[in-house]
Amino acid sequence: MSSVPQHILDALTRVDMPGMTPAAAASEFLDLDGLRVPVFRCGALVVGSGAAGLRAAVELKRGGLDVLVATMSPYGGTSACSGSDKQTLHTAGTSRKGDDFEELAKALGAGGGMDADQAYIEAVGSINAMAGLQYLGLPLPTDRFGAALRYQTDHDDVGRATSCGPRTSRLMVKVLAEEALRLGVPFRRRCEAVHLLKDVTGAVTGVVAVDRDHGANPWGLCVILAGRTVLATGGPGELFRDSVYPRHCYGSLGMALEAGAETCNLTECQFGIGTRREEFPWNLSGTYVQVIPRVFSRDAQGVEREFLGDWFRTTRELASNIFRKGYQWPFHASRMLDYQSSVVDLAIFHETRQGRTVYLDFLRNPAPVPGGAPFSLDDLDPDVRTYLERNHALQERPIDRLVRMNPLAIELYRMHGTDIAQAPLPFNVNHQHLNGGVAVDAWMRASLPNLYAVGEVAGTHGVTRPGGAALNAGQVGGLRVATHCRAHGAPVPTQVPDAAVEAGIRTAVTLARGGRGPATAALRDEIQTRMSDHAGFICPVDGIAPALAAARTLRQRVFTDGVAITSPERSAEAFRWRHLALLSEAMLLALDTYVARGGGSRGARAYCAGDGTRQPTARTVDTAAWRFREERPEHREEKLVVTWVSPSLGIQTRHLRQREDLDTIFFEKDWAHFLGGTVYADEFRHHAVALPSVPSPSPG
């Protein structure tokens, strides 16, 4: 079998996590009409303990600040629980010649919609982000000279990706959690922030949370007052039915929206092939498809179909495009043209909509297209053949090629009860990442004072992002937040909550008790179905406005009647689905506005309409239903910003932030800014020039 010893494979796949330093018990309580609510205080509150939150917490603590981490689940979330064949960390430094940060920044923002300063910050910051992780013990592979081993990934023309294998982000969480333990960072381990608190000035002063580790009241409610609040709550995995996120990823975008924080780029998601949440959610990128397994479907009666033969013209084309899903993993509309790799995603979409389940079969090579030549390793496109040759992966069966190239990929599924060396693997096309999120400035500050956002909850990515850029952005974001808080301080609030804060606490207490509105299961089904059917990677333009209207009606009902919960122990659910109802409306509003302004297909979404100017290619399937609109170049230069201004959502377009000319930065001149601390000042905001608001085509 594999040339890598089993104990090494085990260490990279079965990653045990360290303990955490528990936070102190409550010594202060609020009495709200007989309800006893514990109050905790800290300088900097980090909400969430994924790779981004832990990096922020560790760096804040190193800066001497009083940090508390409140997390819904210490080792939950995508960093700890997700992966792909080899999870990617995007880095600077490549091709044995070092890197050019400006080129790297261009690559990060290549799809448009990304602030130029942010792209440069992520490019430059990638060096520290990666070096810090290596210092903490992240086992990133190197050659015998110490140079990091790198490879090419999605939207990456150069090869800046590196990896510790399928559990790279879990290993990142592990080394950061070990550091947090060493530094004594305290954790509230089962503590979910449900409501942001603002004082009379509108500044964020902490959160109301549901904490299952105190028994002061049956709803688990507590208050955490903080000088600075850092959201690091990850992405909204539960927003879509077809989702490869682990279960129970809600993020906190809805909570931030409801508090009045600006959000941006909510139209920009990433979708791609993976195994389903019902079994073991995992991305099928890289070698899972580069070994060219057979792809087939099965109906309810067990009848199998070699459906890709309806789409590709030759067996060579079919096989080469299965391979290319390895590094062209996210769906991209333009790759549905000319028999390219996203035709595979469209074909899977079509097949699953017919009620059939699609599988990868690693024991057999792809079946030939009707009337075509049989599959042969000697009849592949040159890039595909060369890759397999270079990796000595010319074995007879896909499973043998996988053993040769990436035995961890097999081990991973074994660990979760599926042996892909024995049976086919069901999969589909899923929502995997939200590129947009809380709008932040170059220091990761949200539009509300004292609020920051890092990791996936922050809307820092543009339309496309190279594979691995999410993990890099979270690490760089954590470093930036800590640098900013260290420069400006994060004092522990000492005062008694003012009238606005108390009103916020009372609102949360009311919501926690639940209401007479829809039950959580009904809300989940309605929201997830609508989002997957009307805001997925195949997005019929005609369906967006009705979906928005329905989402708005649902949100209004939830805001008026509350969410029905069955017991006080389930109080957090009332908030989760309230917030997702609002987020779903916000995302549909952004999509509706985008298409009303003539927006076309880009990133991972095809906007399909009868007046579409492009049509996917297929050998025999009629693809007229998926004619799609093309992107307008000017839309790459702006973002859509959605904000809740009670009682409705508003939307505006905004220019991207630019970056000053680097030739104006000189050591002597800028050293003074560094020494005097003005590098941490607000000047970045001046680069953000807002365009006039556009009225929403579907106001409200």
Ligand X SMILES: Cc1cc2nc3c(=O)[nH]c(=O)nc-3n(C[C@H](O)[C@H](O)[C@H](O)COP(=O)(O)OP(=O)(O)OC[C@H]3O[C@@H](n4cnc5c(N)ncnc54)[C@H](O)[C@@H]3O)c2cc1C
Contact string 621-640 vs ligand X (x = CB under 6 A): --------------------
Q: By CB under 6 A, name the one of 232, 284, 336, 547 that touches ligand X.
A: 232
Shortest Å distance, C-beta 90 to ligand X = 6
Nearer to ligand X, 177 or 509 (CB): 177
Rounded Cα distance, 284 and 325, in Å: 9
Rounded Cα distance, 269 and 534, in Å: 13
Closest of 656, 454, 474 to residue 44, by C-alpha: 454
252 interacts with ligand X by CB under 6 A: yes
466 interacts with ligand X by CB under 6 A: no
Shortest Å distance, C-beta 466 to ligand X = 9
Shortest Å distance, C-beta 300 to ligand X = 28
Using the structure block, give the residue that is written with the tokens 């079965």.
14
Shortest Å distance, C-beta 5 to ligand X = 25
Q: By CB under 6 A, name the one of 12, 41, 44, 48 that touches ligand X.
A: 48
Listed in order, strand segments (DSSP E) in 527-637 are: 538-540, 606-608
132 interacts with ligand X by CB under 6 A: no
464 interacts with ligand X by CB under 6 A: no
Question: Using only C-alpha atoms, what is the Rg of the chain?
Answer: 25
By CB under 6 A, what part of segment 163-192 binds ligand X? 169, 192
Let me know: does 604 contact 330? Beta carbons within 8 Å. Answer: yes
Rounded Cα distance, 375 and 316, in Å: 7
By CB under 6 A, what part of segment 474-493 binds ligand X? 474
Rounded Cα distance, 662 and 273, in Å: 40
Shortest Å distance, C-beta 278 to ligand X = 15
Shortest Å distance, C-beta 477 to ligand X = 8
The stretch near ligand X (CB under 6 A) out of 14-22, 308-316, 461-469, 545-553 is 461-469
471 interacts with ligand X by CB under 6 A: yes
Residue 115 backbone zone (phi > 0: left; psi -120 to 50: alpha; other: beta): beta
571 interacts with ligand X by CB under 6 A: no
Shortest Å distance, C-beta 62 to ligand X = 18
The sign of the CA dihedral 275, 277, 281, 283 is positive
Q: By CB under 6 A, name the one of 126, 229, 321, 432 that touches ligand X.
A: 432
Nearer to ligand X, 252 or 263 (CB): 252
53 interacts with ligand X by CB under 6 A: yes
SS3 206: strand
122 interacts with ligand X by CB under 6 A: no
148 interacts with ligand X by CB under 6 A: no
The stretch near ligand X (CB under 6 A) out of 176-184, 218-226, 248-256, 382-390 is 248-256
Q: By CB under 6 A, name the one of 121, 470, 476, 508 that touches ligand X.
A: 470
59 interacts with ligand X by CB under 6 A: no
* Phi/psi of residue 205, nearest 5 degrees: -120, 15
Residues sharing a CB contact under 8 Å with residue 414, sequence separation 6 or more, in sequence order: none
SS3 580: helix
Let me know: does 255 contact 508? Beta carbons within 8 Å. Answer: no
SS3 434: strand
206 interacts with ligand X by CB under 6 A: no
Shortest Å distance, C-beta 100 to ligand X = 21
265 interacts with ligand X by CB under 6 A: no
Residues sharing a CB contact under 8 Å with residue 238, sequence separation 6 or more, in sequence order: 245, 247, 248, 249, 250, 524, 528, 576, 580
Nearer to ligand X, 107 or 471 (CB): 471
125 interacts with ligand X by CB under 6 A: no
Q: The tokens of 354 are what?
A: 């017919």
* Amino acid at position 407, single letter: P
User: Applying CB under 6 A, what is the total number of residues that bind ligand X?
Assistant: 45
249 DSSP 8-state letter = -
Residue 146 backbone zone (phi > 0: left; psi -120 to 50: alpha; other: beta): left
By CB under 6 A, what part of segment 71-100 binds ligand X? 71-73, 76-79, 82-84, 87-88
438 interacts with ligand X by CB under 6 A: no
Rounded Cα distance, 157 and 551, in Å: 39
* Phi/psi of residue 412, nearest 5 degrees: -55, -50
Given the rule CB under 6 A, which residues bind ligand X?
A: 47-53, 70-73, 76-79, 82-84, 87-88, 169, 192-193, 232-235, 244-245, 249-250, 252, 274, 282-283, 432-433, 455-456, 467-471, 474
